[in-house]
């Protein structure tokens, strides 16, 4: 069985991209600085921290990398088994991701930074959030929606520029629909980051509350797949 790759799946990926921006706002502003979905940033932060750059710490980077690795491994195993059994693996993976984010929110409750040094609880939260993002990266990669990996926007931004009339790159798929999808991906990441930072700024909401809200959004997106019909194909999906 496969999920129908139509407008619903595309816009679900855009919504998930928005949640990534919110998660990374929490990760960078309250748990690090560190990233939990964009591991390129975490790798760079780790290398800078190892070089002795002030303001960066090795521990949250290692927690993020470890959590992401575990999440990706578990997700790949689980989704492969679900695919063989013909179950709706994407919905189940998103529910699992939301539950892990909920646990991260519970652990983060009361562990606000407020300019103080990071503690073991911050590292634990970073690891849990990264675990959820490891699940996310595998599940959205398997969904195969071109240009919408939900955790990075560099390629979507590049394709948006290359597919514009000014560039007219012949190797980038043309069309207004493709450009709208690319623009939506970039805008969703920006909006999610802006929203997350605004909610955290001046203590409007705690990091735990933002994580909990993100978890609810992810689970809501997962449950909405129940309303989407599946199409039978020759391969299990």
Residues sharing a CB contact under 8 Å with residue 161, sequence separation 6 or more, in sequence order: 167
Between these two residues, 26 and 87, which has the higher pLDDT value?
26
Q: Give tens-digit pLDDT for 135-156.
A: 999 998 888 787 788 888 888 8
What is the set of domains in the chain, with CATH numbers?
18-229 (1.20.1250)
Name residues whose C-beta falls within 8 Å of residue 165's C-beta, 6 or more positions apart in sequence: none
Evaluate if residue 232 carries a pLDDT over 50.
no
- What per-residue confidence (pLDDT) applies to 132? 98
Say yes or no to pLDDT of 3 above 50.
no
Backbone angles phi, psi at 57, to 5 degrees: -125, 145
Res 87: pLDDT: 63
Q: What does the pLDDT average to over 73-81?
A: 87
**Cα–Cα distance between 12 and 222 in angstroms, integer?**
9
Q: What is the mean pLDDT of residues 173-186?
A: 85
Question: Is 190 a residue whose pLDDT tops 90?
Answer: yes
The better pLDDT of the pair 185, 229 is held by 185
pLDDT value of position 237: 35
């Amino acid at each position: 069985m496969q999920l129908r790759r139509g407008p619903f799946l595309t816009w679900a990926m855009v919504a998930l991209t928005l949640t990534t921006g919110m998660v990374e706002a929490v990760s960078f502003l309250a748990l690090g600085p560190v990233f939990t979905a964009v591991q390129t940033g975490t790798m760079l932060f780790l290398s800078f921290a190892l070089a002795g750059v002030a303001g960066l710490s090795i521990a949250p980077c290692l927690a993020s990398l470890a959590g992401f690795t575990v999440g990706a491994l578990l997700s790949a195993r689980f989704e492969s088994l679900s695919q063989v059994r013909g179950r709706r693996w994407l919905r189940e993976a998103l529910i699992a991701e939301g539950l892990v984010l909920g646990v991260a929110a519970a652990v983060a409750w009361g562990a606000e930074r407020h300019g103080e040094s990071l503690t073991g609880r911050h590292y634990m939260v970073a690891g849990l959030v990264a675990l959820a993002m490891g699940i996310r990266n595998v599940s959205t990669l398997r969904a195969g929606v071109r240009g919408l990996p939900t955790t990075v926007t560099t390629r979507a931004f590049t394709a948006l520029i290359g597919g514009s009339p000014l560039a007219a790159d012949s190797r980038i798929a043309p069309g207004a629909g493709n450009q709208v999808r690319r623009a939506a991906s970039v805008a969703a990441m920006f909006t999610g980051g802006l929203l997350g930072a605004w909610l955290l700024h001046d203590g409007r909401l705690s990091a735990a509350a933002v994580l909990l809200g993100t978890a609810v959004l992810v689970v809501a997106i997962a449950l909405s797949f129940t309303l989407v019909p599946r199409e039978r194909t020759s391969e299990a999906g």
